[in-house]
Amino acid sequence: MTRKQKKTLIRIIVAAVLLIAVVVLDHSTVRLWLPEWLRLPFAVRVPGQDVSGNFVTGDYLPVGWLYLIPYVVIGWDILWKAIRNIGHGQVFDENFLMCVATVGALVLGEYSEAVGVMLFYQVGELFQSYAVGKSRRSIAQLMDIRPDSANVERDGQIVEVDPDEVAVGETIVIRPGEKIPLDGIVLEGASSLDTAALTGESAPRDVAAGSELLSGCVNITGLLKAQVTKEFGQSTVAKILDLVENASSKKAKAENFITKFARYYTPAVVFSALALAVIPSLVTGDWSVWVHRALTFLVISCPCALVISIPLSFFGGIGGASAQGILVKGGNYLELLANTETVVFDKTGTLTQGVFELSVLNPAPGVTERELLETAALAERHSGHPIAQSLRRALGGEADPSRVTDVQEIPGHGISALVDGKRVLAGNEKLMTREGIKALPCSQAGTVVHVAREGRYLGCAVISDRLKPTAPAAVQALKQRGVRTVMLTGDSQAVGEAVAAQLGLDEVHAQLLPADKVDRLEELLGRKGEKGVLAYVGDGVNDAPVLSRADVGIAMGAMGSDAAIEAADVVLMDDDPAKLANAMNIARKCMRIVRENIVFALGVKGLCLILGALGMASMWVAVFADVGVAVIAILNATRMLKAKE
């Protein structure tokens, strides 16, 4: 508990003890020996008084005024808040309701009820504060990724500076146990990194020279030297912190409804209570009865349960999700995720690993596989395309660059180069057709690279991307929830259909340019239900337009993708598509708790308001209808802190 919460708890305990003591005094025969100047103001007619109304030694004195002591101990801050808010023009709030109801109860002689209402109200406030604090700790663990300093190598010396002062291109040193302060590339050293703060995963990630480093991770074992690739304001850690800090500003419809509801509800019940006190009293003349009912009505009507528990549910949902490496930019996106009926996936980097590998070699008659592979790899020697890189990896070793000259890239077709003085073509079927070379058909799924030398067809190599290990389970989990799954890809129709078949997707659209993806998404948006939601899941690099257009944009592989964090509404901080089902579980659980609290709070309050107006509900029933319902709703909302069902 925080220091403030501990002080509140002490006040509650002290006030409760004082209340019990005063109640005992009030319900027992107590002889008070008071001097004349003190007992006269409290003189009342009791047996033993003289005709002038003065006490005589040994008479009894009522102790109702002593209830003011526990009342002030527990309620002074509520009274002060109400007075201060009235001075600022904010009259109708829960502090005002508590003050009017409890002061009115004191005037009517309902001393124990007045103190009880204020006492249990403070108990409810303590519950709320503790629940919010517990949820904040989940987010605080994420916020702890911000590094305090960076060790920069300058003029042969290691200088400790603020991360904001480090420029791109400088060399930083990260010792074991330190947070990585800025994004960079490892120059020297090898180590394991704790990425749990970013991804929610406990398994360490190994890095060595040439590996990418992301700020916010913790260096576990070895000393690392890295070259900074982004200034601190553009680093992964800075973007994540900004995202989380601004999440609470984007409210769900349910939160906005409660805010507007409370704005009109509170003054409405105040005037209703005033009418209940005045109108029947003018008719019957029994002011004490109807004023008491009006005060009970006020206590019952306090909207604490809704005003506190609904935002707390969404806040808990965001905090619980962040603990799993799922960053949600606002409660409104939790609400949308809960109603998602269609999920559209990008392929490369989302459902597949985005790492191309040689899968099949189909040499022409009289050509060996080694000859086909070596010729293709040499032709692609100077290309930075992932397919060219996969061919070079498959060949192994370093091919002699002097064997390759006159390299020409043919956009949309492939490569033309002289290998050992002979003209080699490596590319798609269009390139072969253009050069009048008959290519053999290739039925394997993947990207096909046809190879020819001096006009003779040598065969083809099939390059394919591997599925992510959790992709099949992720799609199956969505289908079990009744979600329709679609894939949009720029790859060939054969590749798209092969991946869709492996994963069990409902629909696939292939050979799409980025603009085509937007058009296809518009079509899918037109087909969804009126209240249904369409979510698009992409790697955030080439999919920013589609991520922005979807009802909910979800970025996969956001570790290292600036576009993902900028364009997406939900960011999955690792490459695991199974986290999508977790995010939907959290969202649906959150909305279920919100609905439960709304129905429960309004139902109990509505019943108690009717009973209070009819005189069938005491002030203690009002206490339950206010504080009791609020505590129950808050406890229900804290279930969101357990993100998994």
Strand residues in 216-308 grouped as ranges (E): 218-219, 224-228
Bridging pattern class, strands 533-538 and 552-555: parallel
Contact in structure between 314 and 334 (CB atoms under 8 Å): yes
* Strand order from edge to edge, sheet including 404-410: 352-363, 456-467, 447-453, 422-427, 414-419, 404-410
Q: What is the SS3 assignment for 539-593?
A: CCCCCHHHHHHCCEEEECCCCCCHHHHHHCCEEECCCCCCHHHHHHHHHHHHHHH
Contacts of 434 (CB under 8 A, 6+ apart): 413
Residues 3 and 147: their CA atoms lie apart, in Å, by: 26
Distance between CA 123 and CA 101 in Å, rounded? 17
Q: How far is residue 493's CA from residue 508's CA, in Å, rounded to a whole number? A: 9
- Unique residue bearing structure tokens 């698009």: 536
Helices (H) and strands (E) in the chain — how many of each?
Answer: 22, 22
For 408, the enclosing helix (H) or strand (E) is strand 404-410
Provide the β-strand partners of residue 173: 151, 225
In SS3 terms, 18-86 reads as HHHHHHHHHCCCCECCCCHHHHHHHCCCCCCCCCCCCCCCCCECCCHHHHHHHHHHHHHHHHHHHHHHH
Residue 346 appears among annotated catalytic residues: yes
Pairing of strands 404-410, 352-363: unpaired
Catalytically annotated residue among 346, 569, 576, 626: 346
Angle at the Cα of 328 (from 323 to 333), degrees rounded to 5? 140
CA gap 527, 448 in Å, rounded: 34
Task: Report the DSSP beta bridge partners of residue 499.
Answer: none
Nearest alpha-carbon partner for 583 in 344, 347, 338: 338
Which residues lie closer than 8 Å to 261 by C-beta, 6 or more apart?
303, 306
The set of catalytic residues is: 346
